Structure 1
Amino acid sequence: MRALLFPIIFCSFYFNAFSQISVQNKNERIKVSNIDTDSIDKRIVNVKDIRIVGNKKTKKRIITREIDIEVGKGYTVGELKKLVKLDENKIFNTGLFTSVIGEISFDPAIENQVEVIFFMEERWYIWPSIIFNLADRNFSDWLFNQNAATDRFEYGFRFDQYNVRGLNEKLRVMAQFGFKRRFSLGYRIPYLNKKQKLGMGLNFSYSEFDQIDITNVGDKRLFIDADSLFGDNSGRNIISTNFYASLDFTYRESFYNTHAIALFYDQITVADTISSLNPSYLNDGEPEQISLNLRYNFRRDFRDRNNYPLKGFLIDVAVEKNGLGIFNDINQGSIKLKLNQYKPLKYNFNVASSVTGYTSFPKQQPYTTLRGLGFANELLKGYELYVIQGQHYIMHKSELKKRIFSFETNLGKLMPLKQFRKIPIAGYFKVFFDQGYVQNNLSVTNESLFSNRYIYSYGAGFDLVTFYDAVVRFEYSINALNEAGFFINVKAGI
């Protein structure tokens, strides 16, 4: 019965995702001005102009790139309302604005002539910030698995410049110290050509570690530090380094479809002792691993909001080849498929579902490249304390949520920066059920509790959503071992 569970979920999810296109935004309302709005949805109107209001820094062409409505074309008012809402969402999802509102304005002098207006408020684009965060995967991992160790903090400085030149370009510079010393530089240009379809990104980073996880026992990572390897008085405090560089190109063929191809160089070195403690830590038990890798990604994103979607769907496919035969250090490939669907129900209820499948080869893989469940959003609720590694996995997550409140607070003159005056806040109560399966060919040696078996979790929680894409999740969950716990996470669960 369990063997049939995942194909059924996968197929039903797949077909529902595509049928979702036709029902987008049917309950959304767009403001229509200068006319009696009773029974006008079937009236055919002509769009004489599209106006953009509020873009002080952002170039107009970056905004019009997201608009599907055409000047001079006729639409029924009902069709135009739906298109305005879709374009409103696309403009918001550029990440450049705190709010975007679309309006259809009838021309009182010319019958059936309308003007479409998009009102927007720009975000704050310059973010110099102090880094102070945990090195561990989440708060619970640090508190329980690492006994709230005070040496596992990271601190430093990061500078983010969004919307450089008003063209949605992004610059990031970071210098980080503490548990992991890391220095990085990145720049992204979303549009290189006049048609605004081709983009490029460039990233460099260098990291040093005086403590690393060298193996996984019982689905928990075991760490070792420099003092344990070399002695307290050795004067050596670096046991691993990593240099990473990547160049990627994106091709946005339509509003919702994006292709990306990335070439990245990855060099990892470790102390000789690490290879003796875990011969599989790097490929062939060597103290250095160098690989030139290639990744292709296809993404179809039809979500209404990127940070906390309530309707639409997402299809994400990634194919990766680690090792292109140049350095002969690694030969590994993987395919990953993710399908997410979000659907609004009546009375402020919403349902969300996500299916993720991953497969890789060969069977024997270095510890540093072995994937699984436990990092970022590749995590089943209730398993925050575990990293379940394996060569293959499938995961299904589902949520039923109800909006409890939604309002906006205006700080007015108390906040001198206009971009921070309005604070939208929404709260959602939810119940959830997650399930998955991780196949690990090495489970006998690492005493895994959860690989090669059906795992699940269920529970309830509360999501708090506010401005600048901030989401905080408070969740109480029970897993397959009947372990119950309260967890705090950031970012949307699905």
Structure 2
Amino acid sequence: MIKKLTGYCFYILILSAAAFAQATDSVRVQALYPFVVDSIRIIGNDQTEEFIITRELTFSKGDTLSREDIFYNRERIYSLGLFAHVFVNPLIENSINILEIKVEERWYIYPIPFVSIKERDWKKISYGIFLRIDNFRGRNEQINAMASFGYDPSFALNYYNPNIIGNEEFFLRVGFIYSDVNNKSLSAETLYGEPFKQKFFRPYLLFGKRLYLFHKIFASMAYNYYETDKYLQGINVSGERIDRFPELQFGYEFDSRDLIQFPRVGIFTQASYSLKGLGFNSINYQITRLDFREYRKIIGKLFSKWRFSARFTSGDQVPFYDYSILGLDERIRGYFNRKTEGNHFYFTSVEFFYPIIEELNIDLDFIPLIPRQLLMYRVALYTQLFGDAGATFYKNQSLSLNRFKSGYGLGLTFLVLPYNLLRIEYAFDNFGKTEWIFDLGVAF
């Protein structure tokens, strides 16, 4: 009897030891850095196809990653705008180094009313209905439809596909916009004698290819229609009150930014050349655009960014509606609501920013009746110091530093991602005059 009990105990001990060994071998533990990637596991992408995520990664199996490498790639995945939360964890499981990428998808359909600020001017309010369908086949495609009223009433439809042919990295954008747009040119208003509007219609098609992760080349064609109530030379350039003309554009882009919505490291460069009119209806002019931005860490959590951009027009006669204007899309803080125009502009900006709240993931899933995907946010709060400068020139004017206007100041940026950013800034012009700026989106 004693021998049997001893045998049973020995048998149970062996089984327990084997079970313990097996359990120990399957334990998931957090890996240390540097981390060699044996395998990549993606979870949580219920709708998004896996290749949409992996095509953003700067590494592959067998590569060695630092903590900074993993954070950078996490931000690139977040830049897709498809996820409310992204977590990247280096794990050891069954003696295999697994990089686990866990995503939580956001809500993808937005049929919502909106109120927007045109030209970054709170006196120019537009309102309407906006329908946005993102990622509807799990391939990061977008369909946008918009009907707006108020200032610059307009209707638009747009479709974007970042990968139209298998995994060949070809992308496509097609759509149109129709608007009863207010004139933006001060010179045109002076010539016309009063503020006026133009009917604007533009269907377009853009086709391009992504090369080597960070590079893109693209070409587009469009048809432009500008209608004014009465004809004045310069406001229209076809000899009639309606300008109708084709447009071709060619461009290049380099983008190595980490988080596109709020970059902290990386470089963005874009250059394009547009041929407008091509001689049709006596219209023939060109527009060249350049934009360079660099983001980098200085020390600790202090970051900097700087930018240079320029826009040049050339050709037989450039209509006022295509003049280069500072005070619209490009604004000098300190001269935020003051416009200057010419054939060309130069603009530069520098900024230092530091987190007050670097990152806070918020889930409000305790709120009833609202889908959880609409209740997940990534929140941050930054403070910034900035300086801007810019100038416009007509073709017969030489480049002079005396023409440059400059401003500087400080502010706060509040991020609620993946949705939007709010900036509150206090700025000075180069004569010491001050202004408050309340704006949506990042400065650059």
Give the TM-score taking structure 1 as reference length: 0.77
1:410 equivalent in alignment to 2:363: yes
- Match runs of 1:421-440 below 5 Å: 421-440=375-394
1:124 equivalent in alignment to 2:107: yes
Partner of 2:405: 455
Give the percent of matched residue pairs that are identical in Structure 1 and Structure 2. 22
**Whole-angstrom CA distance in 2 between matches of 1:70 and 1:162:** 27
Partner of 1:75: 63
1:137 alignment partner, one of 99, 111, 119: 119
1:107–1:115 Cα contact (<8 Å) kept: yes
**Whole-angstrom CA distance in 2 between matches of 1:337 and 1:214:** 22
Deviations 1:455-489 (A, max 9, x none): 21111111111222411111111113432111111
Q: 1:63–1:455: structure 2 CA closer, same or farther, 3 Å change rule?
A: same
**Whole-angstrom CA distance in 1 between matches of 2:247 and 2:31:** 60
Q: 1:240–1:259: structure 2 CA closer, same or farther, 3 Å change rule?
A: same
Following TM superposition, by how much is the alpha carbon of 1:35 offset from its aligned partner in structure 2, in angstroms? 5.9
Deviations 1:134-176 (A, max 9, x none): 4x41235x2xxxxxxxxx5433222110112111111112222
1:214–1:281 Cα contact (<8 Å) kept: no
1:90 equivalent in alignment to 2:76: yes
Partner of 1:419: 373
Following TM superposition, by how much is the alpha carbon of 1:270 offset from its aligned partner in structure 2, in angstroms? 1.1
2:250 alignment partner, one of 273, 285, 296: 296
Following TM superposition, by how much is the alpha carbon of 1:222 offset from its aligned partner in structure 2, in angstroms? 8.2
SS at match of 1:192: coil
**Whole-angstrom CA distance in 2 between matches of 1:100 and 1:35:** 17
2:128 alignment partner, one of 146, 156, 167: 156
1:241 alignment partner, one of 182, 199, 207: 199
Following TM superposition, by how much is the alpha carbon of 1:88 offset from its aligned partner in structure 2, in angstroms? 2.2
Deviations 1:370-398 (A, max 9, x none): 1121222x221112212211112221101
**Whole-angstrom CA distance in 2 between matches of 1:120 and 1:199:** 24
1:338–1:357 Cα contact (<8 Å) kept: yes
**Whole-angstrom CA distance in 2 between matches of 1:130 and 1:35:** 45
Q: 1:266–1:106: structure 2 CA closer, same or farther, 3 Å change rule?
A: same
Letter paired with 2:55: R
2:106–2:376 Cα contact (<8 Å) kept: no
Q: 1:64–1:429: structure 2 CA closer, same or farther, 3 Å change rule?
A: closer
Deviations 1:308-352 (A, max 9, x none): 111111111111111223x23421112221111111233421111
Give the TM-score taking structure 2 as reference length: 0.85
Following TM superposition, by how much is the alpha carbon of 1:363 offset from its aligned partner in structure 2, in angstroms? 7.6
2:29 alignment partner, one of 29, 34, 42: 34
2:415–2:421 Cα contact (<8 Å) kept: yes
Following TM superposition, by how much is the alpha carbon of 1:451 offset from its aligned partner in structure 2, in angstroms? 10
Following TM superposition, by how much is the alpha carbon of 1:75 offset from its aligned partner in structure 2, in angstroms? 3.4
Alignment length, in residue pairs? 413
2:155–2:178 Cα contact (<8 Å) kept: yes
**Whole-angstrom CA distance in 2 between matches of 1:175 and 1:421:** 26
Following TM superposition, by how much is the alpha carbon of 1:355 offset from its aligned partner in structure 2, in angstroms? 1.0
Partner of 2:263: 309
**Whole-angstrom CA distance in 2 between matches of 1:175 and 1:97:** 27
**Whole-angstrom CA distance in 1 between matches of 2:86 and 2:224:** 40
1:387 equivalent in alignment to 2:373: no
Partner of 2:301: 348
- Match runs of 1:328-339 below 5 Å: 328-339=281-292
Partner of 2:55: 65
Partner of 1:182: 154
Following TM superposition, by how much is the alpha carbon of 1:223 offset from its aligned partner in structure 2, in angstroms? 5.3
1:260–1:298 Cα contact (<8 Å) kept: yes
Letter paired with 1:344: K
**Whole-angstrom CA distance in 1 between matches of 2:184 and 2:378:** 40
Q: Please, which runs of 5 or more residues in structure 1 have no aligned partner?
A: 1-32, 143-151, 226-238, 444-449
- Match runs of 1:203-222 below 5 Å: 203-208=175-180, 212-213=183-184, 215-216=186-187
Following TM superposition, by how much is the alpha carbon of 1:434 offset from its aligned partner in structure 2, in angstroms? 1.2
1:335–1:359 Cα contact (<8 Å) kept: yes
1:224 equivalent in alignment to 2:178: no
Q: 1:139–1:212: structure 2 CA closer, same or farther, 3 Å change rule?
A: closer
Following TM superposition, by how much is the alpha carbon of 1:306 offset from its aligned partner in structure 2, in angstroms? 0.6
1:252 equivalent in alignment to 2:238: no
Letter paired with 1:75: D
Question: What value does the CA root-mean-square deviation take over the aligned residues?
Answer: 2.8
1:491 equivalent in alignment to 2:441: yes
Q: 1:196–1:36: structure 2 CA closer, same or farther, 3 Å change rule?
A: closer
SS at match of 2:195: strand
2:134–2:141 Cα contact (<8 Å) kept: yes
Partner of 1:464: 414
SS at match of 1:191: coil
**Whole-angstrom CA distance in 1 between matches of 2:185 and 2:63:** 62
**Whole-angstrom CA distance in 2 between matches of 1:36 and 1:252:** 33
**Whole-angstrom CA distance in 2 between matches of 1:80 and 1:457:** 39
Letter paired with 1:122: E
**Whole-angstrom CA distance in 2 between matches of 1:269 and 1:70:** 53
Larger radius of gyration: 2
**Whole-angstrom CA distance in 2 between matches of 1:324 and 1:131:** 38
